[in-house]
Amino acid sequence: MSKADRPDVPNAASRFNEETATYAVRGAGLPDLEAGIAAIRNVWKTLPTKPGVYRMQDARGDVLYVGKARALKNRVSNYTQVERLPGRLRRMVAQTRSMTIVTTGSEAEALLLEAQLIKRYRPAYNVLLRDDKSFPFILLRADHDFPRIQKHRGARRVKGNYYGPFASAGSVNQTINALQKLFLLRNCSDSFFNNRDRPCLLYQIKRCSGPCVDRISKDAYDDLVCDAKAFLSGKSTAVQSKLAGQMEAAAAALDYESAAIMRDRLKALTFIQGSQAINAEGLGDADIFALAAKNGVMCIQAFFIRGGQNWGHRSFFPVHTAEVPEDEVLASFMVQFYEDVPPPRMILVDRPPAEDALLARALAEKAGGKVYIGVPQRGNRVRLIQQAVRNAAEALDRRQAEGATQSKLLREVADLFELSQPPQRIEVYDNSHIQGSNALGAMIVAGPEGFIKGQYRKWNIKDKEIAPGDDFAMMREVMQRRFGRLLQQSPSPLGEGLGRGGEGAPRGAAPPPAPPLKGRGDQEIEPEYPDLLLIDGGKGQVSAVKAVLDALGIDDVPFIGISKGPHHGRDGREVFHFPDGREFTLPVNAPVMFYLQRLRDEVHRFAIGAHRAKRSKAITASPLDEVPGVGPARKKALLLHFGTAKAVRDASLEDLARAPGVSAAVAQTVYDFFHSG
């Protein structure tokens, strides 16, 4: 493994030693299970009795399972005793052909590294926390004389105080809205702040104290910031007493306007305190987890308590939990959950997770102090756990009811479009442009559990020969790039030159090599053929898709066009187009019609949003962006000197050389760029 591929573990990466042991199966007729055992035994001979992490890999090198061990040699030997393994692990051993070993300094480090690798490789035999969204925080910045309050996701690179996590962006927005009423802190950007010459609307509606136009002194603003920090740290009672005292003092001094302001701020504080879904007073910072299981599906309910305030809750549905004990599922979930979220000093659970002492030690390393994991036995904490258990069971019931409805809809889709079985992967395509400008194609993916947003995809239309507004040609380019890459990454199992499903069907001209398919966030997508294509369009778009798939030799991917009815969709009717020319409509109140419209509306939303972002970027683009050797600093110097990009383009070589910060060589480069023709 290259250095770039090694996982990053803070304060421990330098102590990891990694080696890969591969067993190549020789000879014919060797059963899969025996081959897997032989591969594991071949690695086991060289293993140390040290703590570490091991990865099971199949013949292609794909990671099947990631595990940690206090003593690697002892732990890996268990996989050779297949009669003691559950069926899930027997199947894994049968697929194993190689292993990768990483030694660590302690078992706690191994546990943290295991969580990182599980999140990175998403192995098929590990319990996975199936949630690709980062948690939002409230950030009170400290890089300005008048600190700004804002919502924050992602890495903590900005200097300031972070409060969270919150369960959703909605709960963050609601809290920030109330905090603005309560503490009158600004939430505008620094550039907006620096260019104000009169108060903005937020000042007029009493959501900001107006520091940008000196309506409040720095000392007074600092007092507001201190109050906000105290409140977010759980000292709301002290803030409430302070505001009440200020209101009484203002009223006694007959300053009724100031007293009214304090009264309104007290009302905002009371609203925040009264909006808590659960009573967590006196708990401080804590997370609460409860697990519910039913019909082979598990749900983990999480409550986030910070400063004695409930900052929301969220339901999680981990996958690959079959044949895994509930305490192991809870432990695996927790270590993956805290991979991105800082652990609090107290974690309350409805049952002890597997290896809870080891888990507490590992989380303590991340938190920089002791972390308590326990099951409450009495008092208010027991009531909190009971409420979490009740919420977990209710969320699981809702999930299963929704899943039954979704399964029924997919069966109806299969019957409607003459599929052999309900589709597990539906891809929906659409184009977006304005008279051909900033054109792009978009794909969304849906499955039995809803939209798979991590695999959404968009393509910039690159073919210069496509006439502006030619939707059919745009759709052909999108199909060629999507399925051309798919054939490169996932060749037909029938052999070279055969289509995916047509026996002996010609594949056509081989598409050029392509990089791995990327989804949102540039994460690599596993090559996968769809069970159904929905094309937003009528006969023309369907014909374009058919021509491309026929040329590539792909003849078993069903595709259907969906277009607006004769009244342009105003009556709720859609027309569905088969590749053979058949058309039909559905009753306007058919549930499957609503489902298909929802898919079409989602691809519309994604395509239009991507087009708007591309158009906005093009509007703000400058000709100077294309000049080689001109970075942001020189671009700024040229624009400040000449005023506009057009003036830079029209300037003489002597004028360019006189601009501050521009050398003679750079001036020559800029001049040649604009005058080379």
CA–CA separation, 98 and 36 (whole Å): 8
Q: Once rounded to an integer, what is the mean pLDDT over residues 242-270?
A: 79
pLDDT reading at 278 higher than 50: yes
Q: Once rounded to an integer, what is the mean pLDDT over residues 98-113?
A: 90
For the chain, percent of residues with pLDDT exceeding 90: 23
Q: Once rounded to an integer, what is the mean pLDDT over residues 22-30?
A: 37
Average pLDDT score over the chain: 80
Instruction: Tell which wins on pLDDT, 646 or 493.
Output: 646
For the chain, percent of residues with pLDDT exceeding 70: 83
**Beta pairing, strands 437-447 & 450-451:** antiparallel
Q: Once rounded to an integer, what is the mean pLDDT over residues 383-410?
A: 88
Instruction: Show contacts of 263-270: CB within 8 Å, 24+ apart.
Output: 264/181, 264/206, 265/181, 265/182, 265/183, 265/184, 266/240, 268/178, 268/181, 268/182, 269/182, 269/231, 269/236, 269/239, 269/240, 269/243
pLDDT reading at 393 higher than 50: yes
Q: Once rounded to an integer, what is the mean pLDDT over residues 141-149?
A: 89
Residues 121-140: pLDDT tens digits?
889 898 888 665 678 888 99
Residue where the block lists tokens 């920030």? 176
Say which range, 473-487, 533-547, 633-647, has the weakest mean pLDDT.
633-647
CA–CA separation, 256 and 248 (whole Å): 10
Please name each of the domains of the chain with its CATH number. 3-121 (3.40.1440.10), 137-274 (no CATH), 286-398 (3.30.420.340), 426-617 (3.30.420.340), 623-675 (1.10.150.20)
Residues 431-449: pLDDT tens digits?
887 766 778 889 999 988 8
Residues 200-237: pLDDT tens digits?
898 888 889 899 998 899 998 998 888 888 877 767 67
Confidence of residue 265 (pLDDT cuts 50, 70, 90): confident
Q: Given this model, what pLDDT does residue 184 score? A: 87
Confidence of residue 20 (pLDDT cuts 50, 70, 90): very low
Q: Given this model, what pLDDT does residue 292 score? A: 93
Asked whether 120 and 84 are in contact (CB, 8 A), the reply is no
CA–CA separation, 591 and 216 (whole Å): 57
> How far is C-alpha 314 from the chain's CA centre?
15
pLDDT reading at 534 higher than 90: yes
Tell me how many degrees the CA angle 486-489-495 measures, rounded to the nearest 5: 95
CA–CA separation, 419 and 404 (whole Å): 19
pLDDT reading at 293 higher than 70: yes
Q: Given this model, what pLDDT does residue 548 score? A: 92
Q: Given this model, what pLDDT does residue 10 score? A: 39
pLDDT reading at 631 higher than 60: yes
